[in-house]
Amino acid sequence: MKPLGQLIVICGSMFAGKSEELIRLVRRAMYARKKIQVFKHALDDRFHHSAVATHNGVQIDAVPVRNTQEILNLLEPDTEVVAIEEAQFFDEKLVRLCVELADAGKTVIAAGLDQDFRRQPFGIMPQLMAVADEVVKLRAICVVCGRPASHTQRLVDGRPAAWDEPTILVGAEDHYEARCRNCHQVRRVPAHLRRRLWRPQKRAKTPPQSAKLGEKSA
């Protein structure tokens, strides 16, 4: 019987534990004696050029690649599990590849940022999440207030980054923080995006109870 493939997408802000979760799933596959190949986008060289690494120093070997075609060139036919780190940096062809691999009975694990520093969908992540069998959405802790954080705050010289700065800037604690939606900030947001579609309505004042009773008695 043909094995049942699956596509698992791990997403969230920076410092949410995406790499840790990918490593955990890869290690489970290792214990099950599955043949595994791990890839990472070559742009991510923060901790190690040829490894998926967490902020805490935990790592597994990975092959750095620049695009989907390089993954295709390196894939071995008997591989059972394919893990891909920093999926948001890849081209749209990766979505199709992940679906085809899962349809062929392989387990595909893709991890990446679902939003950029502006809180906008990042690259191909929305498409990957839409076709996934399972989406693992992780949250970090806001460094300002300590509440759950779903957003990535970019800092430039200690100040929030401006909207018109480049989307991709590879870095860690030197450039980024995890923030909740109340504490996240972006400078120079375009005027049309600052306009609110919805504003809370002010409630009409309710007359005091004593005044209502007085009206009835009269």
Predicted TM-score (pTM) of this structure = 0.86
- What is the tally of structural domains in the chain? 1
Q: Is 124 part of any domain?
A: yes
Closest CA to 15 of 173, 156, 209, 199: 173
| Strand 6-12, strand 107-113: pairing | parallel
Q: Is 184 part of any domain?
A: no
Q: Is 165 part of any domain?
A: no
Q: What is the CATH number of the domain that holds 105?
A: 3.40.50.300
Q: Is 213 part of any domain?
A: no
In tens, the pLDDT along 19-39 reads 999 999 999 999 999 999 999
| Strand 148-149, strand 159-160: pairing | unpaired
DSSP notation for 107-151: EEEEEEESB-TTS-B-TTHHHHHHH-SEEEEE-EE-TTT-SEE-E
What are the catalytic residues? 86
All residues at 6 or more sequence positions from 57 whose CB lies less than 8 Å from its CB, including other chains = 47
In tens, the pLDDT along 107-141 reads 999 999 999 999 999 999 999 999 999 999 999 99
Give the Cα-Cα-Cα angle 112, 168, 171 (nearest 5 degrees).
80
Domain region containing 107? 6-139
| Residues found in the chain | 218
- Largest Cα–Cα distance in the chain? 90
Q: Is 22 part of any domain?
A: yes
Check if the beta carbon of residue 40 is closer than 8 Å to that of residue 86. Answer: yes
Q: Is 113 part of any domain?
A: yes
Q: Is 98 part of any domain?
A: yes
Mean pLDDT score of the chain? 90
Per-residue pLDDT of the chain (218 residues; tens, 9 = 90+): 888 999 999 999 999 999 999 999 999 999 999 999 999 999 876 555 566 766 566 678 999 999 999 999 999 999 999 999 999 999 999 999 999 999 999 999 999 999 999 999 999 999 999 999 999 999 999 999 999 999 999 999 999 999 999 998 876 567 899 999 999 999 999 998 888 888 888 776 766 666 555 555 55
Q: Is 196 part of any domain?
A: no
Q: Is 73 exposed, middle or buried (0-12, 13-18, 19+ CB in 10 A)?
A: exposed
Q: Report which secondary-structure segment, H or E, holds 202.
A: none
Amino acid 214: pLDDT: 56
